[in-house]
Structure 1
Amino acid sequence: MSNTSKIAWDDTVLPFQLDQSDIRGRVARLDGVLDHVLAQHDYPPLIEALVAEMSLLTALIGQTIALRWKLSLQVRGNGPVRLIATDYYGPTDDGQPARIRAYASYDKDAIDLNGDGYDQIGNGYFAILIDQGKGTQPYQGITPIAGGSLSACAEAYFAQSEQLPTRFALTFGRSTIADEQESWRAGGVMLQHMPKASPLMAKKDAPDGSGEALVTASDLLEDDAAENWTRANVLLDTVEELELIGPSVSPTDLLLRLFHEEEPRVYEAQPVRFGCTCSEERVKQSLSIYSASDIGHMTTDEGLVEADCQFCGAHYEMDPKTVGFEAEGASD
């Protein structure tokens, strides 16, 4: 794909509502976020594309939740592509950006670099995890991998685990701007039928995804709601790739092009940035379950315990005496 200019909507998520259809949605545009995420690793192109798609989904989904701390998306499979993981951290204060980080794990020897990345995930599951911080019970929902893309997995998840009809239209890839280096760019629209309650935060009896038959959006709506949902999806089907990623069409103009008869109402846009929360303190916390003997097996010939952040590549070196539950100064 090729672009001609950079626009002010880059790295933002714009919430909207279709008042005539009882549908809410999000429009997302990412560029610098993806460059920062992918610059931390040396992924082959098909892995980069999967991480880009997952990051875009994370930005869209994360903005729909009243989040105090972290939303995580995970896809785990038994194929050469073993894991794709993303984290979305809600803004710490009003006006502050949300933060995204992501990484993938894959078998370098088994992966087909000329094949389709999604097909190489194999059988597994798609999961959404929400952690609102101290004093709260983490939420987790899981569904089997379904459909032909990560966005199809997300749609199946919301229908199966949350009973929320959801639709994604996404595009992503390397972008070129005149006289500038090639970079990643992604754009997408998320539609979701307005929930009667707040399933992501309150639902207690969500299926665990182990059933054979998957629920679809058509199973969840009837009468006028079903007609409104179908009409909005037909309108979204008309969107073009260049409209999704920009640069000449702003998200507000895109909504008017697609849904002007549905009376779209927009809210304040949310900026998104790359961000990692790793620190030496967090590494030590993760190692606090190990004994001095276990830590000894982790110690290098140089007498250090080393750890690397899978998300941002930060490298930590620690004195083995300072880590583990038998560390010097460790509390009871």
Structure 2
Amino acid sequence: MTLAEKIAWDDTVLPFQLDMSNIRGRVARLDGTLEEILTQHDYPDAVAGLVAEAAMLTALIGQTIKLRWKLSLQIRGDGPIRLIATDYYGPSADGKPARMRAYASFDAERLETEPGTPFDKIGAGMFAILIDQGEGTTPYQGITPLAGGSLAACAATYFAQSEQLATRFALSMAQVSEPGKGAAWRGGGIMIQHMPKASPFAKGGATGDDGLLAAADLVQGEDDENWSRVNTLLDTVEETELIGPHVSPDRLLLRLFHEEQPRVYDAQPVRFGCTCSEEKVRQSLSIYSAKDIGHMTTDEGIVTADCQFCGAHYALDPASLGFEATDAPGVDGGSGAGGS
């Protein structure tokens, strides 16, 4: 794979269809985008790995949303890793990149002392997908319990339980060193999804963890054979093939599924992007009285706010905040840079 080919496939999601199997899917490659998401924060390895996994899932799932829509993942638990949140913003226009951001909240002391895998350290909780179609609409929200031992398994359970779609993810994320460069995050993944000919139903009850539906519960007969065959082929994928950069996504599809007649569509570029701004900070504070704003004011006489996603810092004049503001915005000492 040449350098030009590598650059062409970096930070993209490639949709495909397997014509012989009635299965659709996506291949995602995130390198610069994933690196930028994770370098906004100094996460411990356990947290960084889960944020990378959530970001990969978000890119694979989010590729299907329409222009200017927003898809979010929220993973909440009662363990030391309390929250992982991601946002995927659909392109602003055809041909434009989608934008992503992500962050995690965790208890550093509990993270060090409590045993278990990184996924175990989320604890009991929920996996949620939210879709916002824009102003004037009610956001859609689907929630399933955390189960299966990984975020990828949680996402597959979500689609089986909430959408009645047999779904599987194969993901790989790591810090990779290239000649002449330091270590940087790269991630790759494949999502496959069986498209039912009619409304699906569980063929023999729920067989997943905690009594939840699993992908195999939703396919039967010829569909079951197709689903099993494609999953067996996907089992042969290697982590280095998923991450790249030496095997391009289209070549990987041919290597895995050439007998299934893969058909690829236009790739969607993905970039890091945060939507925070001083205007949004001011809007969020507009519901507070002057007394409330006073409680938020520091000893230096300013109100500060930090974006959890990109780390932008805002320093605002309290007199210009809240519904009892006495000064117009712009007379304060300025603010930190916001996201794009």
TM-score by length of 1: 0.90
Cα displacement (A) at 1:195: 5.6
What SS class does the counterpart of residue 54 from structure 2 fall into?
Answer: helix
What SS class does the counterpart of residue 250 from structure 2 fall into?
Answer: helix
Cα shift readout 1:74-121 (whole Å, capped 9, x = no counterpart): 100000000011000111011111111000000011103885211100
The residue number in structure 1 matching 2:30 is 30
Q: Does 1:285 align with 2:277?
A: no
The residue number in structure 2 matching 1:76 is 76
The residue number in structure 2 matching 1:161 is 162
> Structure 2 CA distance, aligned partners of 1:287 and 1:198?
46
What SS class does the counterpart of residue 112 from structure 1 fall into?
Answer: helix
On the 8 A contact 1:4/1:178 being kept in 2, the answer is no
On the 8 A contact 1:4/1:247 being kept in 2, the answer is no
Cα shift readout 1:222-272 (whole Å, capped 9, x = no counterpart): 212222111111110111111111122111111111111111000000111
Cα shift readout 1:202-227 (whole Å, capped 9, x = no counterpart): xxxxxxxxx96211112222212222
Code of the residue aligned with 1:307 in structure 2: it is: A
> Structure 2 CA distance, aligned partners of 1:67 and 1:159?
26
What SS class does the counterpart of residue 108 from structure 2 fall into?
Answer: coil
Code of the residue aligned with 2:87 in structure 1: it is: D
The residue number in structure 2 matching 1:202 is none
The residue number in structure 2 matching 1:104 is 104
The residue number in structure 1 matching 2:171 is 170
Cα displacement (A) at 1:135: 1.3
Cα displacement (A) at 1:197: 9.0
Code of the residue aligned with 1:117 in structure 2: it is: P
Code of the residue aligned with 1:21 in structure 2: it is: S
Cα shift readout 1:36-82 (whole Å, capped 9, x = no counterpart): 11111111111111111111111000002335321100100000000
| Gap runs ≥5 in structure 1 | 200-210
Code of the residue aligned with 1:96 in structure 2: it is: K
Matched residue count: 317
Cα displacement (A) at 1:319: 1.5
Cα displacement (A) at 1:284: 1.3
1:235 to 233, 236, 258: 233
The residue number in structure 2 matching 1:324 is 322
Q: For residues 172 and 212 of structure 1, do their structure 2 counterparts lie closer, same or farther at Cα, with a shift above 3 Å needed?
A: closer
* Deviation >3 Å, runs of 4+: 3-7, 195-199
The range that moved more, 110-119 or 183-192, is: 110-119
Give the share of equivalent positions with the same residue, in percent.
70
Q: How does 1:91-240 map to 2 (within 5 A)?
A: 91-112=91-112, 116-194=117-195, 213-240=211-238
> Structure 2 CA distance, aligned partners of 1:326 and 1:72?
34
Cα displacement (A) at 1:136: 1.1
Q: Which has the higher contact order (CA 8 A, sep 6+)?
A: 1
Q: Does 1:8 align with 2:23?
A: no
What SS class does the counterpart of residue 76 from structure 1 fall into?
Answer: strand
The residue number in structure 2 matching 1:61 is 61
> Structure 2 CA distance, aligned partners of 1:274 and 1:195?
34
The residue number in structure 1 matching 2:308 is 310
On the 8 A contact 2:302/2:316 being kept in 1, the answer is yes
